Amino acid sequence: MKLFDVYPLYDVTPVSAKGIVVTDDKGQEYLDFYGGHAVISIGHAHPLYVKRLKDQLDKIGFYSNAVHNPLQVELATKLGKLSGCSDYNLFLCNSGAEANENALKMASFQTGKSRVIAFNNSFHGRTSAAVATTDNEKINAPINKQQKVTFLPFNNITAFANEIVKGDVCAVILESIQGVGGLDEPSSEFFKKVEKLCKDHNVFLIADEVQSGFGRSGKFFAFQHHGIKPDIITIAKGMGNGFPVGGVLIHESIKASYGQLGTTFGGNHLACVATLAVLEVLEKEGLMENTKELGDYFLEKAKEIPQLKRTKGKGLMLGLEFDFEVAELRKKLIYEQHIFTGGASDKNVLRILPALNITKTDMDLFFEKLKIALS
Ligand SMILES: Cc1ncc(COP(=O)(O)O)c(C=O)c1O
């Protein structure tokens, strides 16, 4: 059997990784400014994370959601406390798409409506409802196009109000900072007006924090920069530092009923300890503070790059926008300078998504190498 060939691959084979350094099968080291797509939040092979997972594996790795799992309760309590969202309840699943799928389903169950408002350049995942709210025709199959979704631009409150008053909308879904789309974000004013219109029209506001959550923006959730309160928040990526885990935070005013949501693997023992370890490291090592400080440092250093058009994003969810397409630059950075970076659907944006415990020395090295690659 061969692999189903859907991924265009860079010619690199990582075999080990520690902190911010990834090593390939030839012994070449790479600086990881991509975090495997914003997944590595506390660094590769963090000792506390590795120990917690190994210890748990020796006890019990999995049992189904038909029995008690106290680790889920511990996780919900700790997550509520650290994120400032204790007034939400947690549903655990396995990925970002699944988190958004369940969030959209909850909104539809609760309101009895089915149309969704999403935003231009959005990315919410590849499952049925999630991909329908993703602004990319190419990854929507005819089966996905049955969903009723309206795409709007950020920051146009008139267009938004004109849609929501029609009365058939169950949910508004948005990334507080767009990931794949290229780091655009709505203004605080727009966020607040959207929140109010959602309340007025019995529409659920879903904040997709799959990429921007778990401290990456310098606050636990990126929507917290705007002083709003979504009805539902979705999480994944940095949550498990590489262990596949996702979650849906559902405001406690929304009542659960048996069987409405469910999953075989979601919330398993290993996923819980992986996430608990991430939370413990975030807290103990002050990683949200580091993210803010290092994000500011990065933006300051970026001023030394004359070819740069502008910087985008917050914390360590950053973009460098050039006035040329960055595909070749990314290749140079990988093959010649040995640095991983990310691309975006905006082809002129280089995405920077390192682990949240990155240091100034790592960043200085990045800029030295970026300057060489650009020369
Ligand atoms: C904002 C956002 N939402 C959802 C997803 C989908 O997550 P997953 O690939 O874990 O299904 C992604 C993945 O890139 C994302 O960036």
Query: Which CATH number belongs to the domain containing residue 349 in this structure?
Result: 3.90.1150.10
Tell me the pLDDT of the chain (375 aa) as tens digits.
Answer: 999 999 999 999 999 999 999 999 999 999 999 999 999 999 999 999 999 999 999 999 999 999 999 999 999 999 999 999 999 999 999 999 999 999 999 999 999 999 999 999 999 999 999 999 999 999 999 999 999 999 999 999 999 999 999 999 999 999 999 999 999 999 999 999 999 999 999 999 999 999 999 999 999 999 999 999 999 999 999 999 999 999 999 999 999 999 999 999 999 999 999 999 999 999 999 999 999 999 999 999 999 999 999 999 999 999 999 999 999 999 999 999 999 999 999 999 999 999 999 999 999 999 999 999 999
CATH classification of the domain holding 225: 3.40.640.10
Centre of ligand 1 to C-alpha 327, Å, is 21
For 205, other C-beta atoms within 10 Å of its C-beta total: 25
For residue 100, give the nearest of 76, 69, 122, 74 by alpha carbon.
122
What is the reported pTM? 0.98
In a shared domain, residues 300 and 341: yes
Strands 246-251 and 317-322: unpaired
CA angle 67, 73, 78 (to 5 degrees): 160
- 251 and 359 within one domain: no
Q: Are residues 102 and 205 in the same domain?
A: yes
CA of 246 to the centre of ligand 1 (A): 10
- Predicted confidence (pLDDT) per residue in 327-363, tens digit: 999 999 999 999 999 999 999 999 999 999 999 999 9
Query: Measuring from each residue's beta carbon to the nearest atom of ligand 1, which residues come in under 6 Å?
Result: 95-97, 100, 123-125, 175, 179-180, 208, 210-211, 236
Residue 325, number of CB atoms within 10 A of its CB: 13
Name the residue at shortest CA distance from atom 13 of ligand 1: 125
Verify that 330 and 245 share a domain, yes or no.
Answer: no
The residue whose C-alpha atom lies closest to atom 8 belonging to ligand 1 is 96
What is the rounded CA–CA span in Å between residue 194 and residue 61?
A: 42
Three-state secondary structure call for residue 166 = coil
CA of 97 from ligand 1 middle (Å) equals 6
Q: How many domains does the chain have?
A: 2
Question: 324 with 347, same domain?
Answer: yes
Q: Determine the atom of ligand 1 nearest the C-alpha atom of 209.
A: 1
Q: Which atom of ligand 1 is nearest to the CA of 236?
A: 10
Q: Are residues 86 and 197 in the same domain?
A: yes
In this structure, the residue with its CA closest to atom 4 of ligand 1 is 124
User: Do 102 and 192 lie in a common domain?
Assistant: yes
Q: Which of 234, 260, 284 is the last residue of a domain?
A: 284
CA of residue 11 to ligand 1 center, whole Å:
24
Residues 337 and 351 in one domain: yes
Q: Output the six-digit token pair for 86.
A: 């204790």
On whether residue 6 sits in a domain, the answer given is no
| CA 99 to ligand 1 centroid distance, Å | 9
Are the C-beta atoms of 214 and 197 separated by less than 8 Å? no
Name the residue of 92, 211, 317 to mutate for ligand 1: max ligand atoms within 8 A of Cβ: 211
